[in-house]
Structure 1
Amino acid sequence: MRTVTEDRVREEASAERPIPVGQPRRDRRQALGKSLWIGIWLVFLSEPVRDLASGHHTPSGTVAGGVGLAAFVAVYLTLLFRNVGLPEERSLGRRYVGGRIAVLGTLAVVLGLTLGSAWAGLFVYVSVACGAALPLRAASWTIPLTGTAMLLVGVRDGEQEPWQVLLLVVLIGFAMAGVRQLVRTTVELRKARATVAQLAASEERLRLARDLHDLLGHSLSLITLKSELAGRMLPAHPDKAAQQIADIEQVSRQALVDVREAVTGYRRPRLSAELAGAGVALTAAGVTAELPAEPDLDGVPEESESALAWALREAVTNVVRHSGAQCCAVEVVRRQTLDGPMLELSVEDNGSGGSGSGPGNGLTGLGERLTKAGGTLEAGRSRHGFRLVARAPATAPADVGSPA
């Protein structure tokens, strides 16, 4: 038997499946997208490439600069592609990451000192690598260290431009550190949500097992005992055996009634669960949903809550399938009427309300359900589209004492 919690978990998982934030790459398409996202920032290497193509350096210096730039780009892409977006346990080791960042820093310093200030932009990529691949504590001192190295290289070269690039190096590095921390937090939240859902499902199973044990344990034990007594009495005392069998029949019928009542309670929809499901269904259908906060259901009879939950489910189904609406507003309020306090559910959308000229079978059955619970149903077109209003008693009817 599937529980309500498991169904809700499956709906949320299906709604969130297209979002790849905080998840490792799973196919070639995602790997290509990740490569483009990382590689597009290499456009800022245009200044070193232009410096090599200008012919200001000797042939050997140009070749050495090209080899160094190619090595720098290769190490940078390998480090970020294999480390960005992965969970903590799947990321590369600190020694590997530290070694690659040391190589990047060394290449940036050597190329900047030998080829001039046009190569100071390499320190931006070193800062990005520190923020994206190192833990936050390590990034907090390696990023300023990268900026200091870039500043010293630029000052030695006699250029004033590094002072302007310093702020960019530090800000981009810490921005990447923040993005990395956000991804890690997203991964942890996904794991925590999965754990909570699993615990909730386990708790639901335990509750079901406990309730079934309480309902059937005593009845089945009594049926077993009376069956043994009837078997012993059957040869010599058929009348007493018949009485035991009659008792077995009565206990069995009562156990069947208890099980049916329990199953009915499990299958009864809850208004809070239906509100959460309505938000998921409307969002998946591209409808802007305006949902209330957690409703106050203190003292509301279960029959009234169940009827309103069915009304909300039917209304949301009509909005998704038939109305063609772009937005839907749901409201749950308590009202004092001539018939007493009522809990009112209002669902209004800006759609057409369907192609039918009269109420369908769903609304007809819903009206009968609300009438049985002591409530009312109103459905029809409004100024903005279609509106459904369902009301049910907010308090249980007063007990009426029978005459002596």
Structure 2
Amino acid sequence: MSEVTFSGVGIGQSPDGRRHSFVKLMWFGIWLAFMGAPVSDLFDHDGSPWSVVLGVVGLVAFVGVYLMVIFRHTGRPLRPRTVYSALLFMLALAVLLSLTLDSAWLVLFVYVSVSCGAALPVRVSRFAIPAVTGVMAAVGLRSADNHDLLSALVVPALLGGFAMAGVGQLVRTTIELREARATVAELAANEERLRLARDLHDLLGHSLSLITLKSELAGRMLPAHPDRAAEQVADIEQVSRQALTDVREAVSGYRRPTLPGELAGARTALAVAGVTADVPQDVPKELGATLCAESETVLAWSLREAVTNVVRHSGARRCVVSLTPRQTLEGPVVELTVEDDGRGASGADRGNGLTGLAERLAQVGGTLEAGSTKGGFLLTVRAPLAVPLNSPA
């Protein structure tokens, strides 16, 4: 499930920096255009100066509380007491300004309804939204001239409120999904630590016990039988070297990236960055039994480096990853392509990451091609298979 974003600012996620704060504020502030009726009423108002001052102060306070409830609650939820207090304050201001000034101020009730939908739980907002609309109707019916305006505001109040209730539920679901992802990642890391601890215990337990016994035996033999003690010391050296080799193989196996793991990581990284991802769910079946470990490792590193560049530097909105077996004059290969629609790069600007990938590929007989296209940037990596594609598995 990809995460919905506002120009790179994730729903339910606190803005990161001034630019993201401005973008998110614009998304919510654009709906303030409907405040034109109250503002026009302030300029055309024929009442006393005190009523104009009341309107200006009330409108500024109303807009400030509205933005606080909508802007803050969708990123970092406010305490329930703060939410209810803010909504009651907005409702009281809407009633006061509508009764004191003019019917144009009835539009404030629409903003109260929208705030209820965005900030309140669904079980509460489904009652609060009709209640706010009912208060608006009661205030508007005080004058027979308000019937047309009132009928024009009832539908926006109900529709806007319940639409924002759906958006609020989406925000809460997105936050829960993000927390679940973090929990799954933490559990996976803990499980990997436990597996590594078990494997190291199995590898080193026997070897270290044998080294201890032979060391004690060599110590007892040393005064009377130095030749036999030297044999034990030689055995200790051999066991130590083998234990060191086993540990290195175990650790390198844990550190070696795999294509299935990197494909899953690429989908997650691109989704979190707000990039639409077209990534295979798994390695093609025809490659599963033929791809050697060395080629898989270098392809996995290549995919990780390419996706990292897309997320950090490209500014892309879409990224397509493909993994295809091909037959070439040099033999069967696996072709990995990563293409994005970002700003691209010059052909000479390969960077340390791509240079390192080229060196890795050269060790296994693979090739790397990278460069800008008409619509972005394309990275193509080819690594050899262990056996031909038409060989039996």
How many Å separate the matches in 2 of 1:289 and 1:90?
Answer: 29
Identity %: 50
Q: Counterpart in 2 of 1:369?
A: 363
1:2-401 → structure 2 map (5 Å cutoff): 19=9, 21-24=11-14, 41-57=31-47, 59=48, 63-64=50-51, 66-67=53-54, 70-71=57-58, 73-75=60-62, 77-78=64-65, 80-81=67-68, 84-86=71-73, 91-94=78-81, 96-158=82-144, 159-275=147-263, 291-296=279-284, 298-299=288-289, 300-309=291-300, 330-334=321-325, 344-347=334-337, 354=348, 365-366=359-360, 369-371=363-365, 388-393=381-386
Contact kept, 8 Å, 1:79 with 1:97, in 2: the verdict is no
Cα 1:281–1:109 shift into 2, 3 Å: closer
How many Å separate the matches in 1 of 2:65 and 2:177?
Answer: 28
How many Å separate the matches in 2 of 1:22 and 1:287?
Answer: 17
How many Å separate the matches in 2 of 1:173 and 1:263?
Answer: 56
Q: Could you tell me which amino acid in structure 2 is paired with residue 389 of structure 1?
A: R
How many Å separate the matches in 2 of 1:133 and 1:309?
Answer: 43
Shift of 1:193: 2.3
Q: Could you tell me which amino acid in structure 2 is paired with residue 345 of structure 1?
A: E
The count of residues paired between Structure 1 and Structure 2 equals 367
How many Å separate the matches in 1 of 2:15 and 2:151?
Answer: 38
Contact kept, 8 Å, 2:113 with 2:129, in 1: the verdict is yes
How many Å separate the matches in 2 of 1:56 and 1:365?
Answer: 79
Cα 1:282–1:203 shift into 2, 3 Å: closer
SS of 1:91 mapped into structure 2: coil
How many Å separate the matches in 2 of 1:42 and 1:318?
Answer: 38
Shift of 1:130: 1.4
Query: TM-score of the superposition, structure 1-length normalised?
Result: 0.70
Structure 2, unaligned runs of 5 or more: 1-7
Could you say which structure has the larger radius of gyration? 1
Q: Counterpart in 1 of 2:5?
A: none
The Cα offsets for residues 48-87 of structure 1, whole Å up to 9 and x where unpaired, read as 3433443554x3xx63474266336415523641664347
**Cα RMSD (Å):** 4.9
Query: TM-score of the superposition, structure 2-length normalised?
Result: 0.71
Structure 1, unaligned runs of 5 or more: 1-17, 399-404
The Cα offsets for residues 133-161 of structure 1, whole Å up to 9 and x where unpaired, read as 32222111111222222233333411322
Cα 1:207–1:38 shift into 2, 3 Å: same
